[in-house]
Amino acid sequence: MARKGRAGSSPAPGTILSFMAALLFLLLSGVIFPVRDWPAEPAILVMGTAQDAGFPQAGCTRACCEKVWTGQLQGAHVACLALVDPSSRRAWLIDATPDFPQQYHALQANGYRLEGIVLTHAHIGHYTGLMHMGREVMGASNLPVYAMPRMRRFLSENGPWSLLVELQNIRLLPIAHNERFRLGPFELTPLLVPHRDEFSETIGLLISGPRGRKACYIPDIDKWSKWGQRVEAVIEEVDVALLDGTFYDGTELPGRDMREIPHPFIVESMERFDRRSTAFRQKIHFIHFNHTNPVLDPDSDASHTVRARGYHLAKAGQWWTL
């Protein structure tokens, strides 16, 4: 049984260790964008890699999250991309995550102005960061928010998001499936994908830049086989493919029906793409990792397997010029 500390006595060793672990966690969790040299040309930048609830996840006492709570493993913010234009110091975010304060600060601290946000769908990790636009926090003025029809309707007709529209904290701008739109030097094309569309449709994005390079971002999809087009054709078209890697395999959530939260397991994606060339596989960077996904530990067998088979795992701070 732990002894109570007395006035003038030394703290118990367990207390010191707990304090140091908590301090280490705070320090590590703040180092989320280890970028020494930010891009000098228009680029996409990874601002987070975790599934909607982040890593560690609230209420999780399993070994996966315990390593982060105790400072043994670095956590991860929710999956998000930034499009940055160094010449104008303008930036756009793809999705407004629960970790928006840290992700926005990383841009601001490096001299970028946030010019707008593109939303992929209405699940908590992808739009709830909009709360920071309101009068309780930033009090933003007409920040452009690009969204599909159902997503715009969801925000316009449901509080508290509707208040952001009424008070003109945000300005909803329409985008449409397979119709290109421009953000500074970037051109984006939304692609409808099948997902659990309770409140909105879900999109992936094709992104092209002034150098003629392209990327695709598909953080959420039910299964590749359910999509109306072949994902291989999309990957062939781009230089970088950031793809749904939510779960490594179907064993991560014992007692849970994985059909309720369908995603292409990383092992399924690798089995599908293994027949492709090395150059094809090297384009692929998995992202949007659930807190249970073993690839969040870079030293895990799963991480080694992914890399050994010619694929990549997205990391916060990575960037590619377009």
Per-residue pLDDT tens for 4-27?
333 333 334 444 444 344 444 444
3-state secondary structure of 2: coil
pLDDT above 50: residue 114: yes
Taking the C-alpha atoms of residue 74 and residue 297, their distance in angstroms, rounded to an integer, is 8
Task: Name 194's Cβ contacts closer than 8 Å, sequence gap at least 6.
Answer: 202, 221, 222, 223, 226, 227
Nearest to 316 by CA among 109, 91, 33: 33
pLDDT recorded at residue 33: 56
Per-residue pLDDT tens for 247-291?
999 888 777 776 777 899 999 999 999 999 999 999 999 999 999
Per-residue pLDDT tens for 246-257?
999 988 877 777
Task: Show me where the domains of the chain are located.
Answer: 39-321
- Give the HSE-up count for residue 275: Cα atoms under 13 Å, Cβ half-sphere: 4
| Average pLDDT over all residues of the chain | 90
Residue 34: pLDDT band with limits 50, 70, 90:
low
Per-residue pLDDT tens for 86-107?
999 999 999 999 999 999 999 9
Task: For the domain covering 39-321, report its CATH number.
Answer: 3.60.15.10
* Residue pair 169/139 in contact by the 8 Å Cβ criterion: yes
